[in-house]
Amino acid sequence: LRDALRADINQLLRSLHITAVYVTHDQAEAMALGDRIIVMDKGRIAQAGTPQEIYRSPANAFVADFIGTMNHLPAVAEARRWRVPGGTVPMAPSNDAPVSTLARLMFRPEDVALVQADQAHVEGTVVTALFLGNHTRLLVDVGTGQPMVVETARRDAWRAGERVGLRIDTDHLITLHEAA
């Protein structure tokens, strides 16, 4: 019912060319109804933009975590790659972080592929596999204390304790440099 009402409100506002301010704490509702979204943090604007801009290019960790699920990996720069718990992730060509730079790598569950170990950036152990119909959500321990969330359309029967290889889509990697 809620999804149907959301679609009806969206269609009505657009067909009548009505500008409206809609205040919600429901991120999915904001993404579905908004042409522009403003994310507030402690009474201040953290970021304003289209739903796509907010989701794909969050201004900071608060916005990234507020809109959808975000994985975090602590990282240390090496020559053209990031050393992370459980492996290494290549740096984007545009990233010129000096060796030993500390960073936090952030990426969405849909930006991780399950691959063979020889193709993986990171390896981990399945903690939980949640079958959700059209996809499976895996929680994978990579040694950070917080399981990585991975969403896959693959129809394998994943089991707790199973070792998996993970390949992060570096085109969608968000890198936040941290103070040493």
Which residues in the chain are classed under CATH 2.40.50.140?
A: 71-177
Largest CA-CA distance found in the chain, in angstroms, rounded: 55
Q: Give the pLDDT confidence of 78-121 residue by residue, as tens digits.
A: 989 999 998 999 998 777 788 899 999 999 999 999 999 899 99
- Checking 141-147 for CB contacts under 8 A at 24+ apart, the result is 142/73, 142/84, 142/85, 142/86, 142/87, 142/166, 143/85, 143/86, 144/72, 144/73, 144/74, 144/85, 146/72
The answer to pTM > 0.85 is: no
Q: Which residue has the higher pLDDT, 159 or 178?
A: 159
Evaluate whether 172 touches 178 at the Cβ level (below 8 Å).
Answer: no
DSSP letter, residue 32: H
State which fold the 71-177 domain adopts: OB fold (Dihydrolipoamide Acetyltransferase, E2P) (2.40.50)
Query: Is residue 42's pLDDT more than 70?
Result: yes
Which residues in the chain are classed under CATH 3.40.50.300?
A: 2-66
State which fold the 2-66 domain adopts: Rossmann fold (3.40.50)
